[in-house]
Chains A and B, each alone.
Chain A
């Protein structure tokens, strides 16, 4: 945890570069710790899961900007009685989907789950997440190197941190 905190902006620039290189199939050897999903590395994105803020987590995971899209269909309940088990699913009509991630804005750590979608796997995932309180759930779909999102507010009557 004592690794540098200073050079964040530069590192992000480097990461974006690394992601681009990886897309060209040249690998990203000098940046083995690169969290960006676009690099298609097999590593668990530990750092992104530790970040509290949603925007930071998106940046750490993807390092790119997100645009809302009506082609991403997020299915979540209006009201969740039990925040410990909120069924959430996403489907999309977008092509060339490589990953789907779920963020819960006001959870202690915003990134909840991230799924890699290899070629031949349909771009649809259903899972169950914990929600600490009423907040926005965002699904991000990475398709053809770009990020698309859908957001929905879920009202939580009993928070999910108590298990």
Chain B
């Protein structure tokens, strides 16, 4: 199965810039479908980036994060070729993990 996480991480020597795009409905639990039934809340609660055994960025999300969330940040201390591990968990116990090489 294709990963829900798309990530681009590039190093300019000192700083590594990370952009991630995740496929997820991020349902708020406030919206009704065409039959008038409420679509239950379904959203990512935590998204974690790890590099060289250390958390470099942790996102805690509520329902107000847009569908198919995007996030961008930068960190120091990694070099080209290092692995960046990305994982998320949602409110229904779903999760996904992927690893990207820093380019």
Contact = CB atoms under 8 A, between A and B. Distances in A.
A118 B59 contact: no
A112 B60 CA distance: 9
B2 interface: no
Given A108-B30, A161-B31, A118 B54 contact: yes
A131 B62 CA distance: 12
Contacts of B59: 113-116, 127
B76 A114 contact: no
Interface string B35-60: 00000000001100000001111111
A116 to B, nearest CB: 4
Nearest to B49: A121
Interface string B72-100: 11111100000000000000000000000
A128 to B, nearest CB: 4
A121 B76 contact: yes
Contacts of A128: 65-66, 69-70
A85 interface: yes
Contacts of A131: 64
B35 to A, nearest CB: 15
A19 to B, nearest CB: 17
Interface of B: prevailing SS: strand
Contacts of B66: 84-86, 128-130, 160
Interface string A74-99: 00000000001110010000000000
B69 A127 contact: yes
B57 A129 contact: no
Contacts of A44: 45-46, 60
A120 B76 contact: yes
Contact of A114 (B55, B60, B75): B60
Interface of A: 42, 44-46, 49, 84-86, 89, 104, 107-109, 111-118, 120-122, 124-131, 160-163
5 contacts: A108-B30, A109-B62, A127-B69, A130-B63, A162-B31
The 6 closest A-B pairs by CB, nearest first: A112-B64, A49-B62, A121-B75, A126-B72, A116-B58, A128-B66
